[in-house]
Amino acid sequence: MPLVVNGQRIDDAILQSEFSQIKAYFENLGNVSCCERDEEFRGYAKQNVIARALLAQEALRSRPKAPDNEVDAAVAKLVDEYGGESRFFAATGATADQMHLVRHDVEVDLRVKGMLDQLAADVVADEAALRKFYNDHQASYMTPEEVRASHILKAPKRGEARAGAYEELRKLRGEIQSGADFESLAKKHSDKADEHIDLGFFKRGELAEEFETVAFSMKVGEISPVFVSPFGFHLIKLTDRKPSKPIPFDEARKQVEEHFREQHRQEKTRELVERLKQTAVVEEVAEEPVETSV
């Protein structure tokens, strides 16, 4: 159902798009399935859309028009991010004769950004404040955990060979557990022995998800069960592990300051939205009937 915020009509398509993005985000986190939280997500979408409408209205009221050269540069950057005009039009559904509408939206966005930047300009990012923020958010300033592994890979090219490859690795696993040398067997049996047996240290996100799921669950010296990834069947020996540890403050300082300022900006934005809501008139209206000719 469309919203009207201080007289500005918000099409239901905008609400639906926001809802879809929120739902997709939570689905990617893996903590939602099907439609169990749809009403909750629709509520989030409604509040997000209302907040953006109120901020845009306030920016139009309180901020001067953005200079044409800044709008030109922002539009050009936007189009470039899509890979050029043709891709921009295809992805957004806009047409060349609607670019004045795109420019209007970009100009409003620039006003909103300027308003929020000014709102958060009073933050004091001194040494004491940054160190406190660093200590309070220590989990955000840690080195990634790393592991080192060697592996034997069998990559059968035909479906009928898969069972044989699996059984071969099962047999090799038994030999290794009985004392055979992993590297010697890998050089003899791995389909990529001439390239990589010892994979060195790696972080999460660098190799196949299936491979990392197994590797990061293992103890140093442990031999994995035989498992499959898009590349074939694997047998892993975990050879070393580097646990996550705090990044020294001086090394993380630039990132700490960025996060500190962004958190302050978000807090000021929320405060402004709450003030604007106090006097806002928000209504849900019925869809306008579509006229049909007989």
Nearest to 138 by CA among 264, 245, 267, 257: 245
Distance CA 240, CA 229 (A): 22
Q: In 3-state terms, what secondary structure has residue 8?
A: strand
Is the domain of 8 the same as that of 109? yes
Surface-to-core class of residue 282, CB atoms within 10 Å of its CB (0-12 exposed, 13-18 middle, 19+ buried): middle
Task: Determine, yes or no, domain membership for 8.
Answer: yes
Task: Determine, yes or no, domain membership for 294.
Answer: no
Task: Determine, yes or no, domain membership for 271.
Answer: no
Distance CA 99, CA 79 (A): 11
pLDDT average, residue stretch 154-173: 87
Is the domain of 101 the same as that of 198? no
Residue 156 vs residue 103, higher pLDDT? 103
Is the domain of 112 the same as that of 157? no
Instruction: List pLDDT tens digits, range 178-214.
Output: 999 999 999 999 988 666 799 999 999 999 999 999 9
Q: What pLDDT does 160 receive? A: 64
CATH of the domain at 223: 3.10.50.40
Number of domain units in the chain: 2
- Asked if residue 170 has pLDDT above 90, the reply is yes
Report the side by side order of strands in the sheet with 198-203: 198-203, 146-154, 232-242, 227-229
Task: Determine, yes or no, domain membership for 23.
Answer: yes
Which amino acid is it at 75? Answer: V
Q: Bridge partners of 242? A: 146
Instruction: List pLDDT tens digits, range 6-47.
Output: 999 998 889 999 999 999 888 887 766 778 889 999 999 999
Q: In 3-state terms, what secondary structure has residue 243?
A: coil
- Asked if residue 294 has pLDDT above 50, the reply is no
- Asked if residue 240 has pLDDT above 60, the reply is yes
Is the domain of 25 the same as that of 114? yes
Proportion of the chain above pLDDT 90, given as a percent: 80
Q: In 3-state terms, what secondary structure has residue 284?
A: strand
pLDDT average, residue stretch 85-91: 93
Tokens coding 22: 């929120």
Distance CA 270, CA 272 (A): 5
As a whole number, the mean pLDDT across the chain is 92
Is the domain of 229 the same as that of 170? yes
Distance CA 254, CA 273 (A): 29
Is the domain of 13 the same as that of 109? yes
Please, which pLDDT band fits residue 82 given cuts at 50, 70 and 90? very high
What domain range is 212 assigned to? 146-242
Taking the alpha carbons at both ends of the chain, their separation in whole angstroms is 27
Is the domain of 8 the same as that of 114? yes
Distance CA 206, CA 196 (A): 15
Task: Quote the DSSP letter at residue 162.
Answer: H
Residue 2 vs residue 108, higher pLDDT? 108
Is the domain of 85 the same as that of 152? no
pTM for this predicted structure: 0.74
Residues 6+ positions from 286 with CB-CB distance below 8 Å: 1
Is the domain of 76 the same as that of 150? no
Task: Determine, yes or no, domain membership for 272.
Answer: no
Q: Identify the domain boundary among 75, 91, 123.
A: 123
Is the domain of 118 the same as that of 154? no
- CB–CB of 221/276 below 8 Å? no
- Asked if residue 130 has pLDDT above 50, the reply is yes
Task: Determine, yes or no, domain membership for 292.
Answer: no
Q: What pLDDT does 292 receive? A: 52
Is the domain of 70 the same as that of 23? yes
Q: Identify the domain boundary among 220, 242, 264.
A: 242
Q: What pLDDT does 291 receive? A: 55
CATH of the domain at 12: 1.10.4030
Please, which pLDDT band fits residue 61 given cuts at 50, 70 and 90? very high
